[in-house]
C-alpha cells in the first residue's frame, strides 16, 4: 500500500455527513457537540461536507454552528441512485450521501452517518485501505453503554462472527461510485445496496473488522422504533432470513423439552458473542454485552416474522412511507448496470 496523501498535515479525503434533524431548543446540545466533532475533523481531513435535509429553521441553526468547519449543502433529490431522476425518493439518506459525494473535492471519501464519530486513526486506516480498494467497511462500536446499547451491541458481536456487521460509515472511491451512477434510493438496506452496487461494476469491496469507528448510541425510543425495520433488512439476505425464521420454532421446541436445552442454546449465543468481543477488542466493549446475546436472538426471532408480515402488506414504514425492497440482489444489479 502507498502512504496516504497529505495536504498541509491533513489527509486528502472528504468526509460526507448526511443530516436531517428536527431543530429546536431541545437539540442545542446535539448541535454544539456536532460542532466540536466537525472542528476536530478539520484538523484531520482536507474537506468536510454536511448535506443538511433539515427544515429551514434548523438549517440556519446548523449553518451558524457548523459553517466555519464544513461546507453545508441541501440534498439534490433528482437523479439519485441508478434509476431515472425524480423527486421524493423514499430513502433520503441515500440522496444526501450522493449529493455530498458528487460535491466532494477529493477522490477518497469517508461517508458517515450523523451519529458516527471518527478519529484520526480510523480515517487513516480507511484511507490506507482505499489505496487498492473501492469500498471499505469498518466496524461500529458504541462509545457509551446504556442498557439498550448493550442489547444492540450484542448484535454487532454476533454479526462479526457469523456474517457481516453493517456500520454507519464507509470509505469509498468517488470515481467508482459515480461510475455506478450511485446506488438506489428506493431500498431500505442502503449499506448492502451500496456494497452490491460497487461489486456489480467490478469494484473491490473490503471488510475491515480490525478498524473500529465509534458511534453514539440511539435513544431508547429510537432503539425500539428500529426493531422490526432492522429485521426487514434480512429480506435481502435469503440464507440469513431462512436461518432467522427457524430460530423461533427452535426456541419454542427447546422450551418444550425443558430448560436445559434452552439454557445451552442461550449459552452458545453468549459464547459466540464473547468471541466477537475478543475479535473487536475486549478493551472496547464491556464484558456484560455478550450476556445480552440471547435477548437479541430472541428479539430477532420474533421481529423477522413481523418483517415478513410487513412485506406481505407492501413493505415496512420508513419516515412515513412504505419501502418494499430491502436491497436488490447482486444478480439484478449486475444485469441492470450491464445495460447502462
Q: What is the CATH number of the domain that holds 109?
A: 3.90.550.10
**Domain that residue 319 falls in:** 225-323
200 in the same domain as 65: yes
Q: pTM score, two decimals?
A: 0.92
308 in the same domain as 236: yes
234 in the same domain as 172: no
163 in the same domain as 101: yes
CA dist 80 and 89 (Å) reads 8
- Helix, strand, coil abundance in the chain, percent, nearest 5: 50, 20, 30
pLDDT in tens, 66-79: 999 999 999 987 55
Helix (H) or strand (E) holding 150: helix 147-162
Q: Is the pLDDT of residue 294 over 90?
A: yes
pLDDT in tens, 245-256: 999 999 999 888
How high does pLDDT run on average in the chain?
92
Q: Residue 45 has what pLDDT?
A: 97
CA dist 236 and 327 (Å) reads 5
Segment of 87-96, 250-259, 294-303, 329-338 carrying the highest mean pLDDT: 294-303
Helix (H) or strand (E) holding 26: none
Q: Which of 253-257, 265-269, 322-326 is least confident?
A: 253-257
Report the percent of the chain where pLDDT is more than 70. 93
293 in the same domain as 197: no
Category of 204 on φ-ψ map: left (φ > 0), alpha (ψ -120 to 50) or beta:
beta
Q: Which of 31-45, 46-60, 79-93, 308-322 is least confident?
A: 79-93
Q: Report the 10 Å Cβ neighbour count for 282.
A: 11
| Count of structural domains within the chain | 2
Q: What is the mean pLDDT of residues 7-36?
A: 88
Sequence-separated (6 or more) residues with CB below 8 Å from residue 187: 91, 193, 236, 323, 325, 326, 327, 328
CA dist 157 and 141 (Å) reads 10
64: in domain? yes
Amino acid at each position: 500500500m502507498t502512504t496516504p496523501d497529505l495536504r498541509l498535515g491533513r489527509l486528502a479525503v472528504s468526509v460526507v455527513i448526511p443530516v436531517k434533524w428536527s431543530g429546536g431548543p431541545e437539540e442545542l446540545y446535539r448541535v454544539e457537540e456536532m460542532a466540536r466533532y466537525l472542528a476536530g475533523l478539520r484538523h484531520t481531513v482536507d474537506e468536510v461536507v454536511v448535506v443538511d435535509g433539515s427544515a429551514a429553521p434548523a438549517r440556519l441553526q446548523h449553518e451558524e454552528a457548523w459553517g466555519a468547519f464544513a461546507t453545508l449543502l441541501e440534498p439534490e433529490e433528482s437523479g439519485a441512485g441508478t434509476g431515472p431522476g425524480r423527486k421524493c425518493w423514499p430513502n433520503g439518506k441515500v440522496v444526501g450521501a450522493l449529493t455530498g459525494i458528487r460535491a466532494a473535492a477529493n477522490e477518497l471519501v469517508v461517508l458517515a452517518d450523523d451519529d458516527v464519530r471518527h478519529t484520526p486513526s480510523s480515517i487513516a486506516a480507511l484511507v490506507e485501505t482505499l489505496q487498492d480498494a473501492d469500498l471499505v467497511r469498518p466496524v461500529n462500536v458504541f462509545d457509551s453503554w446504556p442498557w439498550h446499547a448493550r442489547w444492540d451491541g450484542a448484535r454487532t458481536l454476533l454479526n462479526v462472527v457469523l456474517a457481516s456487521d453493517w456500520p454507519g460509515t464507509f470509505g469509498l472511491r468517488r470515481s467508482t461510485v459515480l461510475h455506478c451512477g450511485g446506488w438506489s434510493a428506493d431500498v431500505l438496506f442502503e449499506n448492502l445496496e451500496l456494497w452490491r452496487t460497487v461489486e456489480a461494476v467490478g469494484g473491490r469491496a473490503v471488510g475491515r473488522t480490525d478498524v473500529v469507528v465509534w458511534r453514539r448510541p440511539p435513544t431508547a425510543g429510537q432503539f425500539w422504533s428500529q426493531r422490526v425495520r432492522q429485521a426487514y433488512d434480512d429480506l435481502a439476505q435469503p440464507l440469513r432470513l431462512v436461518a432467522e425464521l427457524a430460530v423461533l420454532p427452535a426456541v419454542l421446541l427447546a422450551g418444550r423439552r425443558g430448560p436445559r436445552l434452552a439454557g445451552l442454546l442461550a449459552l452458545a449465543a453468549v459464547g459466540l458473542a464473547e468471541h466477537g468481543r475478543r475479535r473487536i477488542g475486549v478493551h472496547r466493549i464491556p464484558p456484560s454485552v455478550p450476556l445480552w446475546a440471547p435477548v437479541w436472538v430472541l428479539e430477532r426471532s420474533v421481529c423477522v416474522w413481523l418483517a415478513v408480515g410487513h412485506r406481505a402488506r407492501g413493505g415496512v414504514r420508513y419516515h412515513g412511507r412504505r419501502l418494499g425492497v430491502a436491497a436488490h440482489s447482486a444478480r439484478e444489479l449486475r444485469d441492470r448496470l450491464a445495460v447502462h
